[in-house]
Amino acid sequence: MNKKIGYGIALVLLLLAPLAVYPVFLMKVLCFALFACAFNLLIGFTGLLSFGHAAFFGAAGYVAGWALRDLGLPTELGILLGVAAAALTGLVMGALAIRRQG
């Protein structure tokens, strides 16, 4: 029962947060929280240290920001380009990391 109350309080705080905090700041906080959850999953449960997350996160953010600011593309297309950049970065890093022969 206490977990349900805690989840309810967290939900109410998240719903009221845009009224008290600048929305762009809140989006950045949630984005970094998602990054931290993924990093915790790798380090906390598997014990693997991965700098790939930071590289993918940075590549996606840089390309999305560039597409939105310099190219003037819509937000959705900028996000898709960011995801594509992260996927391409992963493909290049994966090809270098996995040394296949033959």
- Ordered mean pLDDT values, 10 residues apiece, the chain (102 residues): 86 87 86 86 81 85 94 92 94 82 60
Cα–chain-centroid distance for residue 9?
A: 25
Is residue 11 a part of any domain in this protein?
A: no
Contact 42, 48 (CB under 8 A): yes
> Which residues constitute the domain of residue 63?
23-97
- 39 located within any domain: yes
pLDDT at 101: 66
pLDDT at 99: 74
User: What is the DSSP code string of 55-84?
Assistant: HHHHHHHHHHHHHHHTS---HHHHHHHHHH
